[in-house]
Structure 1
Amino acid sequence: MKQVDYIIVGCGLASIAFSEQLRANGKSFIVFDDRSQQSSIVAAGLYNPVILKRFSEVWKAKEQLDLALPVYKKIEQDLKIKIDHKLRILRRFTSIEEQNLWFNASDKPKLEPYLSTQLVKNTNEFIDAPFGFGEVLHAGRIDTEELIHAYKTFLKENQSLVESRFVHQNLKVSSHGVSYENIKAKQVVFAEGFGVKNNPYFKDIPLNGTKGEVLVIKAPNLNIDFGIKSSVFIIPLEKDLYAVGATYNWTDKSNIPTEEGKQELVNKLKTFLECDFEVVQHLAGIRPTVKDRRPLVGQHAEYQNLYVLNGLGTRGVMIAPYVAQKLYQFIENNTPLDSEINISRFN
């Protein structure tokens, strides 16, 4: 039997953030992943402290960024990769009224550090933006695909990854710990994303799941090194490639890209992009969303060594390190979970 402190089920943003908590504290662990969940891989990976639709602050934006960025920096150093790309994000204005709302928001104490008061004029002939842009400060993009690929390789090299489906029915739970096949552990953390719906221990947590579709386009004439938020996001990747997203579908729970999703993104893109482009990739995934837009973190009501880390929604790169630390402190030091994230809030 192999003995570890923790079994983690899933290998997305939540799992990686919790794994980093365990590594920092000298805990042993093993991760199970069957590649069934796509939301972290297809995520745009933006960390942006402002809700740009309403010009309002992201929940606990400063606390999240203060925790998250050092975590990703350490992963870069340990794995010798580059995943954190600082990025200007420009919010396209559609009217004078939107400009005024932006400047009003920039006067609010919690938003002032993140909203530039300098109007950015459009100088790109292929972008329709007669009212200019507002610039978001302290933003960037985590390359989630590279992060997950590199982290799985790192786990494999340390014999800490099992690439197969975790069969919940084979988990044996007792007051002293758990056992699964040839592994004994003290605790299990389920970080399965929307896959938690197949987990008999946590299938009833109020996770809705929202399908998102994104495109990768090739636009040689566009030539921008900043992100644009309008009716859709445009995010520069490399060599004339840009990510475009995203859709929100609350009924379709499959990871299959749809023609309807593709057309929605293309049509919205054409409202302000005035150069030719080619769709070179079309991806889809189910975001683990919650009705109150807060994560789902906590302990099973009956089995005290089973935990859930889920519900990161659309801002996983920012939220994951924050909630991973909260869960670790709860398990190891009995530090109470914030009521805003504790799954007990729905009891």
Structure 2
Amino acid sequence: MTADYLIVGQGIAGSVLAWTLHQRGKKVVLVNSPKRPSASLAAAGIFNPLTGKKLVRTWKADQLFPFLKTFYGSLEQELGIRFLHTTTIYRPYRSVEEQNTYLALTADPAIQPYVNEWVDNQSYRPYIHNPFGGLEVTQAGWVDVPVFLESIRGFFRARSQFVETDFDFKELEVREEGVLWRGQSFGKLICCEGPHARENPFFDWLPYNPVKGQLLEVRMDRYPITNIVNQGVFIMPVESNLYRIGATYTWHDIDWQTTEDGKAFLIQKLHGLLKVPYEVVGQAVGIRPATKDRRPLIGLHPVESAVGIFNGLGTKGVSLAPFFADQFADFLEGRKELDPEVNIERTFSLYYSGKNVV
């Protein structure tokens, strides 16, 4: 056998899963198309335990966040590359009413571990509009996704376990004991194609709900804030004087083109938040591999047990991928069952309905 696993797609999902399986002593071959646009390369990579206007705790935050820091931290040490940035997220209150609501929410024991008790609002005031003060979310941060992906790619390429090519399913032969591809045999094929999974003949029946998102890159010379600020849009420091501003969310016109409307929306939001001058130097677009129930799509094909999927991580890929890659690896090794909320068995009725049966 050439390898235990053939993984198609080297975005956040495929990279995290490949590393997880490698760490368990499995031989993995990663395949990635050089031509397909990547949602991961346009991702801000933020992980945030409290999200939305209502300050909702991220699903499974108590499990996800300690796990992701250990995963990325140990990977950084092994590869000798830095891409994990832990920080707080400052959220200026929009009104006195929001201030009172948020302060009441922070009394909840489920929320308390993720907020600072005291915030130096004055330090933000010369740069950010915050007349009502703000809240600082802890245990947050961001992963420099392009650096992370390049480090994983380099690791597997150095071992001749990375193939840069367009993956054609017509070249695949699925057998009961595994798959054949270009004259090589693998125990299982795992599909991690992000939004491109809608074109996958094995999994095109799954309930995808892709979301288009756009970011801006701006330069600022007089903005010393080093953590993330978020109110309507986020301001995330990337490197000296360079910041990412995001993000838009649209469920229509799902393509890989940046738009003037997207740029104008982000600039309008930024004007309401930022006090210092800036210069727009770039714009990026990505299609997030979201699902209709906002839960990942993980598991094995209902008929072809040698074909699996690890996808649908949506806007929280860097948060979800480490924990669920570990769980999926346990499942593939027969150690434990998948969480029912992520297992694609929950969608098998769509497959058996016969409309799009492979």
Please give the range of the TM-score, normalised by the shorter of the 2 chains: over 0.9
- Name 2:251's counterpart in structure 1: 250
- Name 2:62's counterpart in structure 1: 62
Gaps of 5+ in 2: 350-358
**Aligned AA for 2:242?**
L
CA contact (8 A) 1:37 1:193 kept: no
Partners of 2:37 and 2:345 lie apart in 1 by: 25
CA contact (8 A) 1:106 1:116 kept: no
- Name 1:185's counterpart in structure 2: 186
Please give the secondary structure, in 1, of the residue aligned with 2:121. coil
CA contact (8 A) 2:65 2:139 kept: no
Aligned residues: 346
- Name 1:237's counterpart in structure 2: 238
Partners of 2:54 and 2:37 lie apart in 1 by: 30
Please give the secondary structure, in 1, of the residue aligned with 2:113. coil
- Name 1:18's counterpart in structure 2: 17
After the TM superposition, which segments of 4 or more aligned residues of structure 1 sit over 4 Å from their partners?
none
Q: Report how far residue 118 of structure 1 moved.
A: 2.1
Q: How does 1:121-132 map to 2 (within 5 A)?
A: 121-123=121-123, 124-132=125-133
Identity of aligned residues (%): 34
Q: Report how far residue 117 of structure 1 moved.
A: 2.8
CA contact (8 A) 1:43 1:144 kept: yes
Partners of 1:92 and 1:38 lie apart in 2 by: 32
Q: How does 1:210-289 map to 2 (within 5 A)?
A: 210-289=211-290
**Aligned AA for 1:60?**
K
Partners of 1:279 and 1:101 lie apart in 2 by: 34
* 1:3 aligned onto 2:32: no
| TM-score between the two structures when normalised by the length of structure 2 | 0.94
The answer to which of 296-305 and 33-42 deviates more is 33-42
Please give the secondary structure, in 1, of the residue aligned with 2:72. helix
Change (3 A) 1:73 1:126: closer
**Aligned AA for 1:137?**
T
The answer to which of 11-20 and 36-45 deviates more is 36-45
Partners of 2:20 and 2:119 lie apart in 1 by: 41
Q: Report how far residue 312 of structure 1 moved.
A: 0.5
Q: Report how far residue 334 of structure 1 moved.
A: 4.9
Gaps of 5+ in 1: none
**Aligned AA for 1:19?**
A
The superposition leaves residues 208-238 of structure 1 with CA deviations (integer Å, 9 ceiling, x where unpaired) of 1100000110011222111101010000111
CA contact (8 A) 1:37 1:286 kept: no
The answer to which of 297-306 and 269-278 deviates more is 269-278
Q: Report how far residue 251 of structure 1 moved.
A: 1.1
* 1:207 aligned onto 2:208: yes
* 1:339 aligned onto 2:325: no
Partners of 1:183 and 1:107 lie apart in 2 by: 57
| TM-score between the two structures when normalised by the length of structure 1 | 0.97
Partners of 1:102 and 1:343 lie apart in 2 by: 36
- Name 1:29's counterpart in structure 2: 28
Partners of 1:83 and 1:54 lie apart in 2 by: 30
Partners of 1:100 and 1:33 lie apart in 2 by: 49
- Name 1:305's counterpart in structure 2: 306
The superposition leaves residues 101-121 of structure 1 with CA deviations (integer Å, 9 ceiling, x where unpaired) of 212221212211002232441
The superposition leaves residues 72-102 of structure 1 with CA deviations (integer Å, 9 ceiling, x where unpaired) of 1121112110011121210111111111121
